[in-house]
Amino acid sequence: MSEQTGGIDNVMQETRLFPPSEEFASAASIGSLEAYQQLYDQAKADPVAFWGELGQQELHWFEPFNEILQWDEPYAKWFVGGKTNVSYNCLDAHLDTERRDKLAIIWEGEPGDKRTLTYAQLHSEVCRFANALKSVGVGEGDVVSVYMPMVPELAIAMLACARIGAIHSVIFGGFSAESIADRNNDASAKVVLTADGGWRRGKVLELKKTVDEALEKSPTVESVIVLKRTENAVEMVEGRDYWWHDLLDNVDDDCPAKPLDSEAPLFILYTSGSTGKPKGIKHTTAGYNLYAKKTFEWVFDHRDDDIYWCTADCGWITGHSYIVYGPLSAGATALMYEGAPNFPEEDRFWDLVEKHQVTILYTAPTAIRAFIKWGDHHVEKHDLSSLRLLGTVGEGINPEAWIWYHEKIGSERCPIVDTWWQTETGGIMMSPLPGAIATKPGSCTKPLPGIIPAIVDESGAPVGQNQGGWLVMTHPWPGMLRGIWGDDERFKDQYWSAVPGNYLAGDNARCDEDGYYWIMGRIDDVINVSGHRLSTIEVESALVSHPSVAEAAAVGRKDDLKGQAIAVFVTVVGAEPTEELKQELKQHVRNEIGALAQPDDVRFTNALPKTRSGKIMRRLLKDIAEGTESVGDTSTLEDYSVLAQLRAQDE
């Protein structure tokens, strides 16, 4: 990165503005730009006092905290000396209120089976399973790996760990035995929770079998608890493996939430680094809980009659913060779905929205682009009039996909909250507040109250309006990561060394004349053509605005003359991948952005390689474009066959 100087060129021309409707704004808890600005300014003037007051109000304290923030960069302690419990705040806190018999979770399995849990029922289930965990020797500070399908027991398990002070490490159900073993070993996991299987596109994912393989290389694991879900045969190892239901038979539901230190670790969540082994991101109790709760309430303008659906898997941070901890702390009703969006048909999501009368839908751009590719007729079969608010997370959303979401799913009625955040940030950092902030397609708009971002160059100096640079956070916030499990050096190095005093997010961004932020992609992904630094998302969005393009990824490959040349990988919809189309797409980008952004190579592909959470793996595509072998961590890669196919085009 050393030869890169100055900012990143801004080439995106997006001027459409969508203010919230009068109707939405008047009913919203923060219903005008002025109201947002006032809250934001108040928080900015004294962020510590702002969070301190919220912490006091929003969480239950067994013992009060005596200091709001202890900041010894890069180590933060929030609500020092206090004792609380996340499971208490999610469950017990509602039991003496009208929410006691309100639905906490509405669940639907992929085969169509259903289950609902009220707050009182969920509380009882969590207490029972917490006692089951205790019965196999799990206590405060023990690490529990969770490798389960998206069933209510997954949320129950997370909350049960939180209740007794055990630290969960949820591992997405698509990971291999090798990845599970790596994570077990890195965290010294004591127990693994799994199931006989889970349903995915009509097939059984044999989770227990994968765990068995992982345990050959996981010496710290003493016990395995196995949930019966799919009824396929599994091997049970005597003395090590226990059936979930057998353990529950021997316990009652009396398990008071343990008062835990504000900074007691709540969970570890592994996320892939750009190179090397996955990082165990550490989050703790009180600050994380407060942040998940408040951001949920602000961003989704939560009301008690909402049916809220976040389509993420609990194996990702989005599932932690916005299926489990945020919504439940706020007393929401959350829909949880086990399976694939295209099973049995490509309209499954819209079927679920209609059937359960979902009011808030939170999903990922990668899913939206898939829906566009599958065709509007799947959407048009369903009545989506229950929806009032839409959200996206995980990647930048291309403006054309944003417009489709707005028109086809939101019927031009629902605001869209494009939420920017990271596993490391614990919760949403930048997003429109839907009743207050007019949206621009492709922009995550403004920081939430208490969040103070900046965009700087490599010397740490702020860049000008509309100039791209590094996105940093200038002040600690309660949801921030507290470290990388067992690797302080990497924690300091990666997030705190580039710009002293600031958290380096690792993304590039620009801020426009209205104070709106535009994420431009990962720092490592910038394309440098003849001294012009281009962001991947801008080239990709230009391609996606062509009617024949469903999805696109842009990367820089070495070029002797220009420094880098632009290689793009494109999946087409309703067109043949011909030489003419290649030329047309090159010309299209040239028209949309300018000659400097015209792609040098255009390759067609049926699918793009993605991480399991749906992010395009540009680093691997860069290796393909340059014809080199890929290095680094590929344990999060969705589909190796896509890579093989793309490489074959070289030959």
Joined tokens for residue 318: 């989005």
Dihedral sign, Cα of residue 336, residue 342, residue 348, residue 349: positive
Applying CB under 6 A, the span of 255-263, 293-301, 390-398, 575-583 interacting with ligand WTA comes to 390-398
- Give residue 11's identity as a one-letter amino acid code: V
Shortest distance, position 133 Cβ to ligand WTA, whole Å: 28
The residue from 519, 527, 585, 620 that contacts ligand WTA (CB under 6 A) is 519
Stretch of residues binding ligand WTA (CB under 6 A), selected from 185-193, 200-208, 394-402, 562-570: 394-402
The minimum distance between CB 398 and ligand WTA, in angstroms, equals: 11
Q: Are 285 and 649 in contact (CB under 8 A)?
A: no
Q: What are phi and psi of 46, to 5 degrees?
A: -155, 80
Report which of 332, 188, 322 is spatially closest to residue 265, judged by C-alpha positions: 188
Restricting to residues 443-502, which ones interact with ligand WTA according to CB under 6 A?
A: 444
Structure token digits, residue 148: 């389960």
Give which of 107, 127, 430 is closest to 258, Cα–Cα: 127
Site string for ligand WTA, 523-562 (x = CB under 6 A): ----------------------------------------
Alpha-carbon gap, residue 300 to 204, rounded angstroms: 34
CB of 522 to ligand WTA, least distance (A): 5
Among 280, 331, 394, 450, interactor with ligand WTA by CB under 6 A: 394
Q: Please tell me what DSSP assigns to residue 76.
A: E
Q: What is the SS3 assignment for 33-51?
A: HHHHHHHHHHHHHCHHHHH
Segment interacting with ligand WTA (CB under 6 A) among 137-145, 284-292, 393-401, 555-563: 393-401
Nearer to ligand WTA among residue 168 and residue 603 (C-beta): 168
Please select the residue that binds ligand WTA; options are 317, 543, 620, 621, rule is CB under 6 A: 317
Binding status of residue 423 toward ligand WTA by CB under 6 A: yes
Angle formed by the axes of helices 47-58 and 286-299, nearest 10°? 90
CB 356 within 8 A of CB 307: yes
Q: Which of 24, 421, 470, 503 touches ligand WTA (CB under 6 A)?
A: 421
CB of 507 to ligand WTA, least distance (A): 5
Residue 394 beta carbon to ligand WTA: minimum distance, rounded to whole angstroms: 5
Residue 309 per-residue DSSP state = E
From the CB of 35, what's the least distance to ligand WTA, in Å? 23
Closer Cβ to ligand WTA, 131 or 443, answer by number: 443
Min separation Cβ 501 and ligand WTA, Å:
20
Among residues 507, 540, 551, 633, which is the contact residue for ligand WTA, using CB under 6 A? Answer: 507
Q: Which of 289, 419, 535, 636 binds ligand WTA (CB under 6 A)?
A: 419
Cα separation of 613 and 605, whole Å?
A: 20
The SS3 of residue 493 is: helix
Number of residues interacting with ligand WTA: please give it, by CB under 6 A.
20
For residue 185, count CB atoms less than 10 angstroms from its CB and return exposed for 0-12, middle for 13-18, buried for 19 or more: middle
Please give the residue whose beta carbon sits closest to ligand WTA in the complex: 423
Binding residue for ligand WTA, selected from 56, 124, 185, 422, defined by CB under 6 A: 422
Query: Please, which of residues 585-644 interact with ligand WTA by CB under 6 A?
Result: 613
Closest CA to 409 of 450, 363, 452: 363
Neighbours of 29 (CB within 10 A): 13
For ligand WTA, which residue of 301, 418, 551, 638 counts as binding (CB under 6 A)? 418
Residues contacting residue 457 through CB under 8 Å, at least 6 positions apart: 5, 6, 7, 463, 469, 470
The candidate with the shortest Cα–Cα distance to 405, out of 433, 439, 437, is 439
Q: Which CB sits closer to ligand WTA, 117 or 444?
A: 444
Q: Which residues bind ligand WTA (CB under 6 A)?
A: 271, 317-318, 393-396, 418-423, 444, 505-507, 519, 522, 613
